[in-house]
Amino acid sequence: MLHCSPNMHGPTQPEAQVMVSALNAKLTHHGATDVLRAAFEAVPDIALVSSFGAESVVLLHLAAMVKRDVPVIFIDTEMLFAETLVYQQDVAERLRLENVTVIRADDIAAHDPDDTLHQRDTDACCALRKTLPLQRALAPYGGWMTGRKRYQSGTRARLEFFEVEDDTGRIKVNPLARWAPQDVRDYMDENRLPRHPLVAQGYPSIGCAPCTSPVAQGEDPRAGRWRDTNKDECGIHFVNGKMVRVGESK
C-alpha cells in the first residue's frame, strides 16, 4: 500500500488523492476500527488531534485499542474551561494513552496581551491560539486523525473517511464520519467511558469558554459555538484561511 509522508519521499498530491479515493471506496461499508487500522498502515507517521471535548473519548478509546502509543496532540488555548483541562488528564490516565503532547501558542502575550482578541476578531484569536500552533505541531507528520462527524453541522454533511489537504498534501482521517449521535452514546455506555462534565450542563460541543454557550433542545449541536455569528469552524479545518466544504472546491 502507498504510504504517505510529508517529506520528499512521500507521495505527490495526485498520488495521495488516488490513495485516498481508493481507501474511501474500499472502506465504504466498514466501521471505524477498520478505518483506523487502514490509516495506521497507509500513514505510519500519523497523529490524532483531540480537543478532549464532548465526544472525543470515543475516538481516543478506539485508537488506543488499535495503537496505544499513537501520538495524541491536545491544544491548550489557555481559554479552555477548567473542566476540559481536568477531563483531559482524567481521560489520558484512564485510557493509558502513552504519547500525549499538550501544545500552546508561544506568542499570545505579544498578540493578545489582555486576552480580549476574541471579542474583536474571533478568526484571529482562533488562528493565534489553535490553527498556527497545530500547524507547527503537525509539521513532522504525514497525516492526522479527527473526531469530526457528518451530523455535527451542515459544513460536515459530506465528510469522507479520508481526505487530502490541498495546501500540505497531508492525509486527514475521520474514522467516525458516518456515526450517528446514538452510535456515540451507545459506544460510551457499552465501554463505560467518562463523560465531559459540561455535557450534562447543555454543552454538546465544547470549545473555548468565552466562545461556547449551552445549546437548547432541537438546536444544531454546534449552535453554541460562536453563537450569533456566521462562524462555524475554528480554522483547524480550513485551508489557507478559507473554509473547505467537503466534496466541493474552495
Check residue 225 and report its DSSP letter: B
Pick from 132, 71, 56, 127: nearest CA to 101 = 71
> How many angstroms separate the CA atoms of 171 and 39, rounded?
9
Q: What is the DSSP string of 165-197?
A: -TTT--EEE-TTTT--HHHHHHHHHHTTPPPPT
Question: Which residues are catalytic, by number?
Answer: 234
CB-based contacts of 163: which residues, under 8 Å, 6+ apart?
20, 171, 172, 173, 174, 246
Residue burial 144-167, b: 16+ Cβ < 10 Å; e: rest? bbbbbbbbbbebbeebbbbbbbee
> How many angstroms separate the CA atoms of 3 and 196, rounded?
35
What residues form DSSP beta bridges with 75? 103
Cell numbers found for residue 149: 462527524
Residues 250/244, Cβ–Cβ less than 8 Å: yes
